[in-house]
Chain A
Amino acid sequence: QVQLQQSGAELAKPGSSVKISCKASGYTFTSYDISWIKQTTGQGLEYIGYINTGSGGTYYNEKFKGKATLTVDKSSSTAFMQLSSLTPEDTAVYYCARSVYWGQGTLVTVSS
């Protein structure tokens, strides 16, 4: 069955970067885009963007341009999202998703 296994929680300092991973299994990795979604208590669910896992092409929600960078490693069927110049407003649970299948989420906490 389709599974998306995300990396563990991250505690990061303001101004630093983190890179979250999303390892896919149970299907042909390069046949589906991987999307990333941010969830916070205050802002709810926000769509960050997606990556075409075959070509590496990306689409970013304007709000997250410059904040998120999406990449893939086809050899390991893994998608990555790097978040840069972190601020407390980036504290959230981040999900990867393949159409209607969601990963378990990765909590990123930004605190000094």
Chain B
Amino acid sequence: DVVMTQTPVSLSLAIGQPASISCKSSQSLLGTSGKTFLNWILQRPGQSPKRLIYQVSKLYSEVPDRFSGSGSETEFTLKISRVEAEDLGVYYCWQGTHFPLTFGSGTKLEIK
């Protein structure tokens, strides 16, 4: 199975500060279709996960543009340009290129 390694484990940031989360995979996530199925989701406290980014850098329509994703092959990054209070929760990367789908262990974002 593809191992997804996320760092850091946690972040404590003040509102307005930038955030950066790293996600590394044990195998290339570039699929035979030429697409890279690396995605990000956010799980707020007491809620189920919600979609954020798909195929490395594509934001879902409801996601604010302060979020961005980048990377290729085995190294990926989620960035928040300016953290807001509603951004607290646990961020997970997950890959859909290889079965079984696998998830990172999560990065907990706390607001100072």
Contact = CB atoms under 8 A, between A and B. Distances in A.
Interface of A: 35, 44-47, 49, 59, 61-63, 95, 100-105
Report, nearest first, the 7 A-B pairs whose CB atoms are least far apart. Answer: A100-B51, A45-B103, A61-B100, A47-B101, A102-B48, A47-B100, A44-B105
A104 B99 CA distance: 24
B102 interface: yes
Contacts of A62: 100
Contacts of A45: 49, 92, 94, 103, 106
A44 B101 contact: no
Interface in B45-99: 48-51, 54, 60, 92, 94, 99
A87 B36 CA distance: 37
B108 to A, nearest CB: 12
Contacts of A35: 101
A47 B48 contact: no
B60 A47 contact: no
A59 B51 contact: no
Contacts of B99: 59, 61
Contacts of A105: 48
Contacts of B49: 45, 95, 102
A95 B101 CA distance: 14
